[in-house]
Amino acid sequence: MLIIMCLVWLLTGCATMKSVSKKFSAQQKANLGIFADHTISMLDNADFGFDRDESVYTREFLGSSVEGDLKLQNGLKEAGWFFGEIVDYSVGLVTIVETNSGEAARVKAYQDFMSGFNEEMLEKLELQPDYYATTIEEIGQQTEFLGALRKGQLIINAAARYMHRVLDQIEVDVDIVVKNVEALIDEEYREVILYQEALEEEKYAILRSFGMLYLAYKGETGAYDELVAEQTVRRPDLLPDGEPSIEEMETIGAHLGKRLQALHLIEQETAQDWHIYRETHRELDRLHDKVIQQNRQARLITLVWLRAHQKMASGVTSPAEWFDIKSLPGQLINMGAKSAKTAVF
What CA–CA distance (Å, rounded) separates 104 from 84? 28
Cα angle for residues 176, 192, 54 (degrees, 5° grid): 45
pLDDT of the residue at 312: 83
pLDDT of the residue at 315: 79
What CA–CA distance (Å, rounded) separates 303 from 112? 26
Cα separations in angstroms, 13 against 8, 231, 274 = 9, 90, 71
pLDDT of the residue at 4: 30
Domain ranges of the chain: 27-188+294-341, 190-277
3-state DSSP of 150-213: HHHHHHHHHHHHHHHHHHHHHHHHHHHHHHHHHHHHHHHCHHHHHHHHHHHHHHHHHHHHHHHH
Q: What is the pLDDT along the chain (345 residues), one digit of tens a residue?
A: 332 333 232 223 333 333 333 444 445 554 677 778 878 877 776 666 555 666 788 888 887 688 888 898 899 889 888 888 888 998 998 899 888 888 999 999 999 999 988 888 899 999 999 999 999 999 999 999 989 999 999 999 999 999 999 999 999 999 999 999 999 999 999 988 888 888 888 888 889 988 988 998 888 888 888 888 888 888 888 888 888 889 988 999 998 888 888 888 877 877 888 899 999 999 999 989 988 888 888 888 888 888 888 888 887 777 777 775 444 444 444 444 333 333 333
pLDDT of the residue at 36: 82
Residue 333's Cβ-side half-sphere holds a number of Cα atoms within 13 Å equal to: 11
pLDDT of the residue at 142: 94
pLDDT of the residue at 63: 76
pLDDT of the residue at 139: 95
pLDDT of the residue at 51: 59
Alpha helices in the chain (DSSP H): 2-12, 14-44, 69-99, 103-114, 119-125, 129-140, 145-188, 190-217, 223-230, 246-313, 319-322, 330-334, 338-341
pLDDT of the residue at 337: 38
User: What confidence tens digit (pLDDT) does each residue in 188-241 have?
Assistant: 999 888 888 888 888 888 899 889 889 988 888 888 888 888 888 888 888 888
pLDDT of the residue at 14: 35
pLDDT of the residue at 7: 26
